[in-house]
Amino acid sequence: MRSSCITHKVPPFRLKKALAWAFAIVGTGLFLTFASASPASADLRLCNKTESQVGVAIGYRDKTEWSTEGWWNIASKTCETLIPGHLSSRYYYVYAIDYDQGGEWGGRAFMCTREKEFTIRGIADCVAHGYERTGFFEIDTGEQRSWTVQLTEPVQQETGGR
């Protein structure tokens, strides 16, 4: 049994026009794909994995000096970008307050803060400059270009015994 094949002849001028349209459509699609593609995000982000709203302050060393900034109010179970773009430092410092349940996340790296929104240059003599001296915990990014800090509920310790 012989198979039959039906062919359609396209006049050359129509073939060129069809190919031109096909290349235009494919080229536009590729252009839009590459033009709309955003670069990979590289940020310092903080995710609040707790049941409470938290207030967050950060500390870091820029090219010339230490700086602290605050406050980001981060709702329960959400994330926020604290520093957009590629990270320029290896170490960042975080201090956070649990607004709903009380308590804080802090450490032994003392820097300056204040109760209202702030950006403070320098970390020496906080109290003499009218600021509070606050203990931040250290984040070692290992010189990664992006990093995410996750605040979690404190681990409950069992008391008593058998």
Residue 91 lies in a domain: yes
Cβ contact 48:79 at 8 Å? yes
Residue 160 lies in a domain: no
Are residues 103 and 146 located together in one domain of the fold? yes
Are residues 57 and 120 located together in one domain of the fold? yes
What integer pLDDT is reported at residue 40 of this predicted model?
A: 52
**Gap between the Cα atoms of 31 and 54, Å rounded:** 43
**Mean model confidence pLDDT for the chain:** 78
Residue 157 lies in a domain: no
Residue 17 lies in a domain: yes
**H and E: helices and strands count for the chain:** 1, 10
For residue 54, what is the DSSP state?
E
**Gap between the Cα atoms of 60 and 63, Å rounded:** 10
**Gap between the Cα atoms of 149 and 40, Å rounded:** 18
Are residues 66 and 135 located together in one domain of the fold? yes
What integer pLDDT is reported at residue 80 of this predicted model?
A: 95
Residue 28 lies in a domain: yes
Residue 20's domain comprises 10-38
Are residues 49 and 31 located together in one domain of the fold? no
Are residues 50 and 25 located together in one domain of the fold? no
Pair of tokens at residue 36: 């709309």
Are residues 50 and 32 located together in one domain of the fold? no
What integer pLDDT is reported at residue 7 of this predicted model?
A: 34
Number of domains in the chain: 2
What integer pLDDT is reported at residue 52 of this predicted model?
A: 95
Are residues 16 and 82 located together in one domain of the fold? no
**Nearest residue to 70 (alpha-carbon basis) of 42, 111, 41, 107:** 111
Which class for 81: exposed (0-12), middle (13-18), buried (19 or more C-beta within 10 A)?
A: middle
Are residues 19 and 83 located together in one domain of the fold? no
Residue 95 lies in a domain: yes
Are residues 15 and 58 located together in one domain of the fold? no
Q: Name residue, tokens 């605050």.
A: 70
Phi, psi of 125 (to 5 degrees): 50, 50
> Rounded to an integer, what is the distance from CA 126 to the centroid of its chain?
28
| pLDDT tens digit at each of 162 positions of the chain | 433 433 333 444 444 444 444 444 444 343 333 333 444 567 899 999 999 999 999 999 988 899 999 999 999 999 999 999 988 889 999 999 999 999 999 999 999 999 999 999 999 999 999 999 999 999 999 988 889 999 998 654 455 554
Q: Hey, CA dihedral for 49, 51, 53, 56, is it positive or negative?
A: negative
